[in-house]
């Protein structure tokens, strides 16, 4: 095993994997590279953890608070919508 760097999962280094992780998660890798990367993940706990942590990071970003329009601004927009699209008085 030590010399067999042509074994699936061993033709790619960890340092390469961490730079391919976004292309991998985006589905942008060609089939051969993707297969090699996945074979590497199956062999390498460090890289497997790295990819998992990237997924965790992305997941948590979905919970970061965001700015939005004030309640008042949103109510004003709904009022404007009502003016244009009221069922009783069709808009322009």
Binding site for other proteins (CB under 8 A): 2, 13-16, 18-19, 21-23, 26, 28, 44-47, 49-50, 52-54, 56-74, 76-87, 91-92
**31 or 91, CB closer to other proteins?**
91
**42 or 80, CB closer to other proteins?**
80
The Cα 17–Cα 49 span in angstroms is: 12
Shortest Å, Cβ 8 to other proteins: 15
Residue keyed to tokens 């949103």: 74
CA distances from 30 to 23, 34, 74, 75, 85 (A): 10, 6, 45, 49, 49
The Cα 88–Cα 35 span in angstroms is: 60
Shortest Å, Cβ 31 to other proteins: 18
């Amino acid at each position: 095993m030590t010399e067999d760097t042509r074994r699936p999962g061993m033709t790619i280094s960890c340092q390469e994997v961490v730079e391919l992780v976004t292309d991998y998660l985006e589905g942008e890798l060609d089939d051969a590279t993707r297969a090699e990367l996945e074979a590497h993940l199956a062999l390498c706990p460090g890289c497997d953890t790295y990819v998992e942590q990237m997924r965790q990071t992305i997941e948590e970003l979905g919970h970061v608070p965001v700015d939005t329009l004030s309640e008042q601004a949103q109510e004003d927009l709904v009022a404007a919508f009502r003016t244009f699209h009221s069922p009783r008085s069709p808009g322009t």
